[in-house]
Amino acid sequence: MNRRGLVGALAAAAALAVVPKKTRAETKRKLRPPGALPRGTFEQACIGCFRCAEVCPTKVIRFPSGLSLDVATPYLDFDDRACVLCMKCTHVCPTDALVPLAADADVVAREVRLGVPKLERSACLPWTGRGICRLCYQVCPYPDRAVEVVGPQKAPLFHPEACVGCGLCEEACPETARAIVIEPLP
């Protein structure tokens, strides 16, 4: 192998090392930040400047790391934390791919649909008679509207049409249950 080939091979190896494997979150779902334009339009308006991610207090706004066309568009990663609905990200977008929204409970309830909650009842503590948990109900910004508790064990019942999809319930759900997942809009 000559020097030139060697340099090329080294560079190729370095390039491979730079690109990490796809993480679980990326393959799982693509939720867009609050105020995002509809799917299709959002990808055209976003220029990937990552200001939204820089102001996100819970750092749930991420960028995919794999080789794909949407590598420069932000998505929400609810694996560790959730959106606290501060609406800061909507105010820093230079191209209005995220439409500015007031951090007002009524405005947020009307305008924001990040995803829909999916409850796996077979994993939920109250639904399986393992305890009166109510954690999701307690953290929900819209209790009794997005989620209510029913029956003697206070089992949660979600109303996706009133849910903004912030993921706080997913974050609060105990490690032993992990019964709630915010899924992308259909």
Beta partners for residue 98, in sequence order: 36
Residues contacting 119, CB < 8 A, separation 6+: 127, 156, 158, 179, 180
Binding-site size for other proteins (CB under 8 A) equals 46
Cα 144 versus chain centre, distance: 22
For other proteins, which is the closer residue by CB, 43 or 148? 43
Alpha-carbon separation of residue 146 from 76, 89, 171 (angstroms): 20, 23, 16
- List the one residue from 91, 113, 130, 145 that touches other proteins (CB under 8 A): 91
From 3-11, 110-118, 130-138, 160-168, span contacting other proteins (CB under 8 A): 3-11
Contact between 64 and other proteins by CB under 8 A: the answer reads yes
Contact between 94 and other proteins by CB under 8 A: the answer reads yes
Contact between 6 and other proteins by CB under 8 A: the answer reads no
Distance separating alpha carbons of residues 158 and 155, to the nearest angstrom: 10
For other proteins, which is the closer residue by CB, 57 or 129? 57
**Burial of 52 per CB tally in 10 Å (0-12, 13-18, 19+):** buried
| Binding-site string for other proteins from residue 38 to residue 57, where x marks contact by CB under 8 A and - marks none | --xx-xxxxxxxxx-xxxxx
Residues that bind other proteins (CB under 8 A): 3-4, 7-8, 11, 14-15, 18-20, 40-41, 43-51, 53-59, 62-73, 88, 91-92, 94-96
